A = this chain, B = another copy of it.
Amino acid sequence: MAQIIDGKKIAKEIREEVAEAILKFKDNNPALTVILVGDDPASHVYVRNKARACEKAGVISHTIQLDEDIEQCVLLEKIEELNNDTSIHGILVQLPLPDHIDETTVLEAILPEKDVDGFHPINVGKVVTGDTSGFIPATPAGIIQLLHRSGHSSQGKHVVVVGRSNIVGKPIGMLLLQKNQLGNATVTYCHSRTHNLADFTRQADILIAAIGRPEMITGDMVKDGVIIIDVGTNRVIDENTVKGYRLAGDVDYVSVFPKAKAITPVPGGVGPMTIAMLLKNTLKAFKLLTA
């Protein structure tokens, strides 16, 4: 029977650790500002969830809501203002941004020391070189914790990452490649241009699926004893549900489960870790900036 890696439980542990650490600072609390541009309903839900988690952990959170059609320079001015505001320790611009705004320019405008999302190239670079002074993006940082806290070492293991996004695929591979206790894996990156994908996924001791295509990894594509980290959260039409859809991972849980040694469910696996790691990053920013 596969071990089900309980992301909800592990995320709760981390949120409580953060809350406990913050208590020690007494009257002084970390503060996070989230900038939300436009009216994307999903983004609104995320931002609301972040705000709630912040409050519980003792992180002061502000949300700045900007119009969909705001000019880029106005957004950049707002970021500059927050960069200079010593009462703010973390800045997060909720993605995606409207098409007329250049994401790269915006992410590079955030002071790297306040970039709790870890998307500024300087923080990306630090993840690669193994410099721990920067911020690791929340999802890959969460995956490292899921593996570690559920007792699965990556030392000498073959990790196959399916997906090469800047937010998940690339950084998680780089983290697991590092010469350290939480790394030392042999890492293979697969993606849409990979020929014979199953030839690679079948070799995985640890398979990380971050593709964004529902149930694409099926039981015949993995070996017995694989550890599965499923990053996908896809909506699949399902008329038997009240909402008319259900959430599905990138992994076909039903066929993969019998072969897996351990697996993250969707929902309740990687998803809950994201906010927990964001809180952890905000605490780190606070410590660095107020030290």
Binding site for B on A (CB under 8 A): 104, 120-126, 128-131, 134, 155-156, 158, 164, 166, 170-171, 173-174, 177, 179, 184-191, 193-195, 200
Contacts and interface: CB of A to CB of B under 8 A. Distances in A.
Identical copies of this chain, number: 2
A116 to B, nearest CB: 16
A184 B134 CA distance: 28
A134 B155 contact: no
B200 A195 contact: no
A255 to B, nearest CB: 23
A41 B249 CA distance: 57
22 contacts: A104-B131, A121-B123, A121-B125, A121-B126, A121-B129, A121-B131, A122-B122, A123-B125, A124-B129, A128-B171, A156-B193, A156-B195, A158-B195, A173-B189, A177-B191, A179-B193, A184-B191, A184-B193, A186-B191, A186-B193, A187-B189, A188-B188
Contacts of A134: 121
A125 B120 contact: yes
B193 A155 contact: yes
B174 A128 contact: yes
A153 B171 CA distance: 25
B189 A194 contact: no
A186 B194 CA distance: 6
Contacts of A186: 188-191, 193-195, 200
Contacts of A177: 164, 170, 189, 191
Contacts of A155: 193
Contacts of A190: 186
A149 B40 CA distance: 46
A170 B164 contact: no
Nearest to A183: B193
